[in-house]
Structure 1
Amino acid sequence: MTNLYARTRFLTLSLIILLVVSLVGCQKAPEGVVAIVNGEEIREEDFDAEFEIYRETYSRELGEDALSQVGEDGTSLEDQIKLITIDTLIVERLILQDANEKGIAVTDQDVDERIEELTEALGGEEELDKFLEDYSLNRDFFTDHIRRALILERHNQEYIDGLDINKDEAREFFETNKENLIVLRGSHILLKTEEDARKILERLEDGEKFEDLAIEESEDSVSALDGGDLGYIIPGSYTGFEEIEDALLELEVGSISDLVETEAGFHIVRLDERKDTFEKLEEDILELLKNQKYRSFVEDLRDDGKIKVYLDINK
């Protein structure tokens, strides 16, 4: 995590919109249209392309079989992904329309530079081509997606930059919510077996550096590159690894846990930082409050917009 209540995902902009899409099934849908937002059509081919990105992401994280599982509301995960996709496209279109009215735009150079950054992050042109193939994307769609994402980012940033939230408001929020305002930063070394993990614990006790052992021995290849760094963690948000959260909460800054067992294996966990006072969290709280106001602004765009949805999730 890079801040208190935000996580970034590649090629996605996540907004908490507490509204439910109203499906207009009784109206005849224009040919090839899944929604109309303030007079602008969202085409079926655009929906299909976005849906494949979400579907592939969920499939990779949860497995293909999970997509057909039906929840208590009677809808499958795949149907829920369709609703998430159309809702995201509607919100995106509302923001793009507002950005256009405000003269917020990006240049071809901006787009090219972002594509270069992403290409480098993926490991080069071949890896980018593989990524596009895995997600069934063509270059034109990918480029347009990047352009839209940049405009969304700029719209968000310009709105937030125009806000003025004073310290008293931030402190009041902290006092009201301080039981839940804890941010931890930790590192871990992951081993497959208890025996291997015990050997690493012994090496740590003998004075070897945690970061060096994480790089050399950890099965988590991503965090190992950063010496085992897990980044900032908000207790309750580390889905699937609650045991690591619990271990971090019990530690003093700089101390190392005994073995922590999860489905992934055996972890050795170190607490690197704990933020639970107003002084340490002030900047994070200010950012959180600004993002809350931005979400409220987007919800107002939604409430004021003329939106018709023709999507049939059973198709």
Structure 2
Amino acid sequence: MLTVVNEDSSTRDGSLVDKIVREGARRLLAAALEAEVNSYIAEFAGERNRSGRCLVVRNGYHQSRSVTTAAGTVEARVPRVNDKCVDGATGERKRFSSVILPPWCRKSPKIVEVLPLLYLHGLTSGDFVPALEQLLGSSAGQTGLIVRIPDAEPAVRAWRGRFDPSARAGVPAHVTVLFPFLDESRTDSCVCSALADALGKHRAFDLQFESCGRFPEVLYLAPVPDTQLRRLTEMVADRWPEAPPYGGKFTEVVPHLTIADGQDDAVLDEIETDLLSKLPFTSRVSSVDLMAHDGAKWQWRASFALRE
């Protein structure tokens, strides 16, 4: 199909340069993901079962998702791996999880800086790590507002530690109120004072967790009732309209406590069976926490009490 290019190098869909960069980013990211999974499979090529079959094989792709970059939004699909190897130290099954594009990664403002480095390190060598460290470090400065659910920890801590990247990044069992919130550079004393004032007018409340729910490749605990959580989200989003929930990606925000992200149905079924034997439980919500990402981990920054 022919593309009409205007005198200013723009097209009907925007800048031709941006279009080329987006397509280049998409292809390079796809190539890097393929190289990463191929390297993982090759590492365990000698691992076989009693029938001589490989324990680590390709298994299609995870659901495609959008990744926001400085050049625009590109679609990415992470290869799926069927991994039946067992960790000798823990006795647990190993799970392949992409370092390049973890399940939580939806935004990468530094990808334009990474593209030249990817070329330098070479697609054929598969040595993308130095450049991609810059890509994955782009979460620094992000903030979010959450309500902690400490009563959930006995039931979910082990599962979240294995299958929820946010747990490994330092986030406790929680329900998100608003993410992403303002950049950390903007969360000064004035913003914190405004948060304290707004949240202090909202009454504390109890939540009951008695069932699981699912999004694609995600298992979560469903809080009941979720009305007060929705009101907290709406209140903060109305006060700071430049920070819509999840960047405005979803028309409806469903309050949930994530247990596993980026897993296939067999894994989610196993987790759900275990969790159902530990439900229900009740948790009191009396504060909202501000968390910030330092480039490696999520760190607590402040707590705002609700009215008792």
Q: What's the TM-score bracket when you normalise by the shorter of the two chains? A: under 0.3
TM-score, length basis structure 1: 0.26
Question: Greater CA radius of gyration, 1 or 2?
Answer: 1
- The structure carrying a bigger helix percent of its residues is 1
Q: What TM-score do you get using the length of structure 2 for normalisation? A: 0.26
